[in-house]
Structure 1
Amino acid sequence: MPDGWRWDSTLFRGSAAYYERGRLPYAPGFDATLATALGLDGRGRLLDVGCGPGVVTLALARFFAEAVGMDPDEDMLAEAQRRAGRRGVTNARWVTARAEDLPAGLGEFRVVVFAQSFHWTERDRVAAAVLRMLEPQGAFVHISDLKNRPAEPTPLPLPDPPYARIGDLVRRYLGPVRRAGQGTLADGTLGREDLVLARAGFGDFERHVVPGGEVVHRGADDIVAYVFSRSDSAPHLFGDRLGEFERDLRAVLRQASPDGRFAEHLPPTEIMTWRKPRGAR
């Protein structure tokens, strides 16, 4: 985990209710791209570690006999279960646990996925546990928005959300160092998953980028939900100043777009996969 930070149960406290509305979806077709890359055919089991409200679990469940979503936040799992019911997904189940609890008696899996969650874990320990849990030639999958993407060629029809000013406002309330649960992330979140997975013994790396670019229209309530869906601006961090912060946040949004309408380009989705080598235990 990031130096000087340790996980605690307040990391996303109060964020589950805002997640689905606030977060942009992954690029269309990311699930089919992964299914093609791994030759998924409705057999085997999926484990989604740090599944949150089940966004990726539910998108991929149709490619497996069973999908297991795991997260330490019970509110996130309750939201995932509600979303599964709305979507008619019947082959998913939900487990309250941390990645560091693996294997947690969960058995063997064809695919284990981390969607923007691996950086919150003790990565070397977790990668070693996942290697043991995978079936022969099973896959470790990392999914995230593409970082450092090029500028979009087409202009937006509406103002884009004022994320820089929102960040300034959050820092004015919570301090200059990014908050994370009861601690802070002085150096941000971690990268270089390739080095971690190589140390664990994974191989056959592949990278796929699913194009985004579609224009997504957003309202002020959507941007507020986005802010409260984040670990570094989760509602509990503001304490008794939450109402005051939201008033100031909405004032920033009105200044950027008086009618409260925004637009942004959907980012590409990056999918990285590693295989369990033949003969590995």
Structure 2
Amino acid sequence: MTSWEWDETLFAGAAVHYGLGRVPYPADLADAVRDALGLDGAGRLLDVGCGPGSLTVLLAPLFAEAVGVDADPGMIAEARLRAPGIRWERMRAEELPADLGTFRVVSFAQSFHWMDRELVAERVRGMIAPGGAWVHIGATTHRGIDGGGPLPHPAPPWDAVEALVADYLGPVRRAGQGFLPEGTAWGEEEVMRRAGYAGPEVVSVGAGRVETRSEDEVVAAVLSLSSSAPHLFGDRLAAFESDLRQVLREAAPDGRFAERFRDVGIYIWRP
């Protein structure tokens, strides 16, 4: 296989690393969504490609009911452990509407690029209640950005980490059973406009925030990625983790890192 297509191994084994390896969304993200949409605790939220529920749990208090859907069984299992009071459904986004009803907000966070975007955009449009919105959260939660001033600890040596992953898995980015030589899909705005959405209205939060991270957190961040998910290493996973920790200890012998993260974008589209 020379090109990637969706399969159930995409994030196999990665879900258990999300909670430790991905930095939380900024605390003011929920307030920004509430204010931008005039939310008052009524209506329903559908979080598509919810993963282990990071965004779902954050936004759920803004609604009367929240539903999270994800295709990966490990992600849904982690979400159910994290928040058993929320309705979690294992399904692909392409299976929507799946008799789930209508929603005041349908949200996507770091997930839309894995989907048949034209099909999902069309199907979701009919699930958004009158006056409701599609909310896309644009963020990078596994690693920070370069530059921006001094930090209290060394930044993780991401170039060396990526080189190590390439040594184990090859130079072309892996994804499930295939490869992504050109990365994930882009051009979301064109997809949304063709599907009949207006927007986006854009709100940003969390610019320039600095997070302190441990060696364990950086290791978990690497293993939370589809491109370096645990299953890809097979019986060499323990050796990879040992080598990864050695790379990290050479950069920060005390196991403490710091990173500056880019702002989180809230992109609001209306059908």
Distance, in Å, in 1 between the alignment partners of 2:191 and 2:76 is 28
Cα RMSD for the two superposed structures: 1.7
C-alpha distance in structure 1 between counterparts of 2:110 and 2:145, whole Å: 20
State the match for 1:4 in structure 2: 3
Superimposed CA distance per residue, residues 183-239 of structure 1 (whole angstroms, 9 cap, x where no aligned partner): 111110122211111000011420111133232111111111001111100000000
List gaps (5 residues or longer) in structure 2: none
Deviation at 1:125, TM superposition (A): 0.5
Q: Per the alignment, in what secondary structure is the counterpart of residue 198 of structure 1? A: helix
SS in 2 for 1:37: helix
Aligned residue among 252, 255, 260 for 1:257: 252
* Alpha-carbon distance in 2 for matches of 1:25, 1:270: 14
- Counterparts of 2:227 and 2:31 in 1: how far apart (Å)? 31
1:244 paired to 2:233: no
**SS of structure 1 residue aligned to 2:89:** strand
Q: Is 1:121 paired with 2:115? A: yes
**Partner residue in 1 for 2:93:** 99
2:129 to 131, 135, 155: 135
> Which residue does 1:213 correspond to in 2?
208
1:5 and 1:218 map into 2 onto residues whose CA distance is: 32
* C-alpha displacement of 1:79: 1.0
Alpha-carbon deviation of 1:84?
1.3
- More deviation in 262-271 or 50-59? 262-271
Look up the SS of the partner of 1:42 in the other structure.
Answer: coil
SS at match of 1:82: helix
Shift of residue 152, structure 1, vs aligned partner:
5.3
Whole-Å separation in 1 of the counterparts to 2:94 and 2:164: 34
CA contact (8 A) 2:146 2:260 kept: no
Corresponding residue of 2:20 = 21
Q: Deviations over 1:34-58 (max 9, x none)?
A: 1111111111111101100100000
Whole-Å separation in 2 of the counterparts to 1:197 and 1:216 = 33
- Which runs of 5 or more residues in structure 1 are unaligned? 277-281
Give the one of 188, 197, 201 matched to 1:193. Answer: 188
Contact 1:16–1:79, Cα closer than 8 Å, also in 2 = yes
Q: State how far apart, in whole Å, the 2-side matches of 1:246 and 1:38 are.
A: 43
- Report whether the alignment pairs 1:55 with 2:49: no
Query: How far is the alpha carbon of 1:153 from its aligned partner?
Result: 4.0
Task: Tell me how far 1:27 sits from its aligned partner.
Answer: 2.3
Letter in 1 for 2:90: T
Cα contact 1:24–1:266 (8 A) shared by 2: no
Distance in 2 separating the partners of 1:257 and 1:204? 44
Q: Could you tell me whether the CA contact under 8 Å between 1:16 and 1:53 is conserved in 2?
A: yes
Counterpart CA distance in 2 for 1:230 and 1:215 is 21
Between the aligned partners of 2:119 and 2:67, the Cα distance in structure 1 is 20
State how far apart, in whole Å, the 2-side matches of 1:260 and 1:184 are.
Answer: 32
* Residue pair 2:4, 2:177 contacting (<8 A) in 1 also: no
- Runs (4+) of structure 1 exceeding 6 A deviation are none
Q: Does 1:43 align with 2:38?
A: no
1: CA distance, partners of 2:147 / 2:222: 23
Mapped contact 1:173–1:245 kept (Cα < 8 A): yes
Tell me how many residue pairs correspond in the alignment: 268
Q: 1:24 to 1:150 in 2, by over 3 A?
A: closer
Distance 1:155 1:118, change over 3 A: same
Q: CA deviation at 1:5?
A: 2.2
Given that residues 145 and 260 in structure 2 are in contact (C-alpha distance below 8 angstroms), is that contact kept between their aligned partners in structure 1?
no
1:73-123: CA deviations, max 9, x gaps?
1211121122115xxxx3x21001001101111111111111000000000
Match of 1:279 in 2: none
Query: TM-score normalized by structure 2?
Result: 0.94
The whole-number CA distance in structure 2 between the counterparts of 1:217 and 1:146 is 16
Q: Which residue of 2 is the match for residue 176 of structure 1?
A: 171
Given that residues 4 and 176 in structure 2 are in contact (C-alpha distance below 8 angstroms), is that contact kept between their aligned partners in structure 1?
A: no
Structure 1 equivalent of residue 68 of structure 2: 69
Matched to 2:236, the amino acid is: R
Instruction: Say which SS state the counterpart of residue 13 (structure 1) adopts.
Output: coil
Letter in 2 for 1:107: G
Which is further off, 60-69 or 131-140? 131-140
